[in-house]
Amino acid sequence: MSHADLRGLRIWYEEHGAGRPLVLLHGSYGSTETFAPVRPALATRRRLIAVDLQGHGRTADVDRPLRYESLADDVAALLRHLDLPEADLLGYSLGGGVALRTAIQHPALVRRLVLVSTPCRRRGWHPGALAAMSAHDARAAERMRGTPAYERYARLAPRPQDWPVLWARSGELLRRDYDWSAEVAALPMPVLLVFADADAIPVRHMAEFFGLLGGGRGDVGGDRPMSRLAVLPGLTHDDVVTSPALPAAVLPFLTHPARAPG
Q: Which residues span the domain enclosing 12?
A: 2-255
**pLDDT-based confidence at 219, cuts 50/70/90?**
low
- Report the alpha-carbon distance of residue 194 to residue 125 in Å, rounded: 14
Is the residue at 201 inside a domain? yes
Is the residue at 183 inside a domain? yes
pLDDT of residue 168: 97
pLDDT of residue 256: 77
Asked whether residue 221 carries a pLDDT value surpassing 60, the answer given is no
CATH at 150: 3.40.50.1820
- Mean per-residue pLDDT, 145-172: 96
Instruction: State percent of the chain over pLDDT 90.
Output: 92
Is the residue at 262 inside a domain? no
Asked whether residue 180 carries a pLDDT value surpassing 50, the answer given is yes
Is the residue at 178 inside a domain? yes
pTM, two decimals, is 0.95
Is the residue at 261 inside a domain? no
- Report the alpha-carbon distance of residue 63 to residue 203 in Å, rounded: 37
- Mean per-residue pLDDT, 39-46: 96
Q: How many CB atoms lie within 10 A of CB 183?
A: 16
All residues at 6 or more sequence positions from 127 whose CB lies less than 8 Å from its CB, including other chains: none
The pLDDT mean for the chain works out to 94
- Mean per-residue pLDDT, 190-212: 97
Is the residue at 191 inside a domain? yes
- Report the alpha-carbon distance of residue 196 to residue 161 in Å, rounded: 34
The 3-state DSSP class for residue 49 equals strand
- Mean per-residue pLDDT, 148-160: 96
Asked whether residue 10 carries a pLDDT value surpassing 70, the answer given is yes
**pLDDT-based confidence at 260, cuts 50/70/90?**
very low
pLDDT of residue 93: 98
Q: Find the farthest-apart pair of alpha carbons in the chain and give their distance in angstroms, rounded.
A: 59
pLDDT of residue 1: 77
How big is the chain, counted in residues? 262
**pLDDT-based confidence at 216, cuts 50/70/90?**
confident
CA dist 205 to 13, 118, 120, 246, Å? 32, 10, 9, 20
DSSP H helical segments within 106-180, as ranges? Answer: 127-134, 138-143, 148-156, 163-175
pLDDT of residue 249: 97
Q: How many structural domains is the chain composed of?
A: 1
Asked whether residue 262 carries a pLDDT value surpassing 50, the answer given is no
pLDDT of residue 261: 43
pLDDT digits (tens, 9 = 90+) for 73-112: 999 999 999 999 999 999 999 999 999 999 999 999 999 9
DSSP summary character for residue 153: H
Is the residue at 260 inside a domain? no
Asked whether residue 171 carries a pLDDT value surpassing 50, the answer given is yes
Instruction: State percent of the chain over pLDDT 70.
Output: 95
**pLDDT-based confidence at 7, cuts 50/70/90?**
confident
